[in-house]
Structure 1
């Protein structure tokens, strides 16, 4: 049986992955040179953000490993689908990206799929 700390690790992983993705987008918007090497040498802010993103992703990896000690991978991986909803939603608000109705239909389908995978006894006779 998984402890509440296990779920904290899983939820932290999702938050960290979402944060890392938003940082990667921010870094990509700072790219104004065709050479990544020149970019990293000349833009201290981008390099700092990149290091922070790597640290966040590394901590997410450790957290995920800790969560998987007590959670079955097949069911716990559904936590990651939250990022498929959260990242676009935040990118719309932070970066002004557009999301259409088709996107929101997809979100509903993702959420329905998560519900179905996390409630397997629902269809048990």
Structure 2
């Protein structure tokens, strides 16, 4: 508790807001990770299985290498990509209810990258 006494008003407010956000997050239930792969030359793809996401990442990387080697203009385009440098794999979370809705919508691209 002695550490709390050393916090100023703004730090206490931030701490309080962080605690409240954590309580709200926990009320939603357990969070389930999902993955997505994006590059500056292809569409965004979503995955439930990390192995499928890694296969997609490999394919997108190979596609990017081929695209760059085709033309100097393509390399220039890739160098201009804002926010996406090359190919990127990201992890996010969603609630079980959201996951069930997304599965019903056939939102995930796992089927495109079988073993």
TM-score normalised per structure 1: 0.28
TM-score normalised per structure 2: 0.30
**Bigger helix share:** 1
Query: Whose radius of gyration is greater, 1 or 2?
Result: 2
